[in-house]
Amino acid sequence: MYPRKINQNHRVILASILVTASFILNKSLGYAWITVIVMAASTFLAGVPIVVNAVRALRYWIVGIDALVTIAVIGAWLIGEYWEAAAVTFLFMVGNHLESRTLERTRSSIQALLKLVPDTATVHRDGQEVAVRPEEVIKGDLVIVKPGEKISVDGTIVKGSAYINQSAITGEPLSVNKAVSDIVYSGTIIESGYLLIRADKVGEDTTFAKILELVEEAQDKKARTQRFLEKFSRYYTPLVILLAVVLYVVSRDIVMSLTLLVIACPGALVISAPVSIVAGIGNGARHGVLFKGGEMLEKLSSVKVVAFDKTGTLTKGKPEITRVKAYEMTEEELLKIAAVGEIYSEHPLAKAIVSYAAKQLGMIHERPAEVNYIPGQGLLFIFEGKLYLMGNRKLFASRKIQLDACESYLAKEEALGQTAVIIGDKHGVLGVISIADQVREDAKQAVHHLKSLGIHRIVMLTGDNPRAAKAISSQLGIDDTYSELLPQDKVRVLKELQDKYGSTAMVGDGVNDAPALASADLGIAIGGTGSDVAIETGDVVLMSGKLSKLAYTLALSRATVRNMKQNIYFAILVAVLLLGGVLIKTVNLSYGMLIHEVSVLLVVVNAIRLRGYGKTRRG
């Protein structure tokens, strides 16, 4: 904050000696020439950085706290209040020093992340182990990591096994066991074991690098309250100067006017919001929760409705085939036709069908001649010269194909929470493949915790059929369920919820929920460790992929906003009391500065309490 020609610690020590000597000389000799010289030296040593900062700010047409103090100190010297000038500059300097040191503690969680940045990497090149900087690792390199070392890349294990501490990314304290073919991430630490890792993502492309970038950017994305206070301070400070001039014109009391300049410094008020926001963002980062700015943190605290996507969010997103029902052909024939039709699809249900067919029938080499995907319904494809339909009821209804032959079977499967994929041709139904996606173990608890936090409405949005959707929502205790939704339908439903209840958050896995995440007041992505899509699409990202973190995230946002409001109210109260004290002449220049600096420190100390949030309570 100050120029570094004199070390800040040394400046504080020297100024402390001089101001103490000034106080003693003033008490014993009064304003003798030696006393004035020592006071001048103390004022100069502590005051030069203040004047420099004031001049720098004025070059950009900013009248800040340093300018108010500079005017007050110069005025004190002109009227012979040498001790007041020395005391004010000293107290302001010490307050700034303590403030900067204390502020470092609010950023400790972020600094802890920075310390986890790998500084070296050992790669296998030309038959030798070579130590390089992490940014020098090339995609495809084989990276060697030993016990106690940090992993420097995102990659796939090709040899070895190890217990890895992933808390830097997920916030989870327990180590996880990783072996061949598992994915590992930069910034995590091997506690025991040995790994040879193929580098898949390096440098700025790694998950940990993206997390650091997001956390650093988040500190610059200001909350609505923070932006208001900054705008307020731009007009407030010149207004204080004008008020001091008016007070002097009316009262002819120059000391009172100068005192007003000092006590009216909006230091505690200006810092009240950002210090809480930084502490909240840092706490979240330490627990695997990424807030993409103070605005997102503030928005989350006022959410009234939480809408969940189903597949991959409330469920594990790994659907499995439970039953195959064939009509007029064998189950094997039906399964082969279905796998051929879905071979090019990236949909989770399609992958489940193709994977199951490969296990039952072996590798499927045939390919469809033509495929037409119909959003929200399914697909049409041509195989061996014949047109097939594969999807839900809407697809068959749009082609006027009756489902009478399988309607009772469909109803029974859907009542069990199964997703039924119908396969047919232009003549009728050929069979049904039932698919189940297991509900996450922590989903019910997450819904319960959100309700305990006072969320007005919890809803589920899904493209699945009504019976399957209802089975899952009933199991989890969800208030409302909207089924058979296309992506644009989810956006429409969210708008209706916003109009009816107020601020709405959308929780999705970040893969196919981008429109809904973007249209909600707040998008919360639960993409799991290392999900690039989740990191890109969500306003808030739960890196561990655990729904149990959701209630903690909401509670943290509320605690942060509550802390911010406490700081603001306290800063305003102190300013009002000091102003009253000046007007009734009970607060002098140095006493006013002392109270001002103490109030700033108390605001910072209050924000530091957020560092410990979650140690005794996990949402």
Tokens coding 506: 């959308």
Distances 197 to 15, 34, 133, 155, 177 between C-alpha atoms, Å = 56, 72, 16, 6, 15
CB atoms within 10 A of CB 219: 17
Which residue numbers are catalytic? 309
Q: Are 548 and 445 in contact (CB under 8 A)?
A: yes
Q: Are 381 and 353 in contact (CB under 8 A)?
A: no
Distances 333 to 345, 372, 405, 516 between C-alpha atoms, Å = 20, 21, 19, 38
Q: Are 143 and 167 in contact (CB under 8 A)?
A: no
- Paired strand residues for 160: 195
Across 117-138, b (16+ Cβ under 10 Å) vs e yields: ebeebbbeeeeeeeebebeebe
Dist. CA 443–CA 548, nearest whole Å: 7
Dist. CA 450–CA 545, nearest whole Å: 17
Long-range contacts of range 546-549, CB-CB < 8 Å, 24 or more positions apart?
A: 546/172, 546/442, 547/313, 547/314, 547/440, 547/442, 547/443, 547/445, 547/446, 548/442, 548/445, 548/446, 548/449, 548/618, 548/619, 549/171, 549/287, 549/288, 549/289, 549/619
Burial of residue 346, with CB atoms counted within 10 A of its CB: 0-12 exposed, 13-18 middle, 19 or more buried: exposed
Tokens coding 568: 């603001």
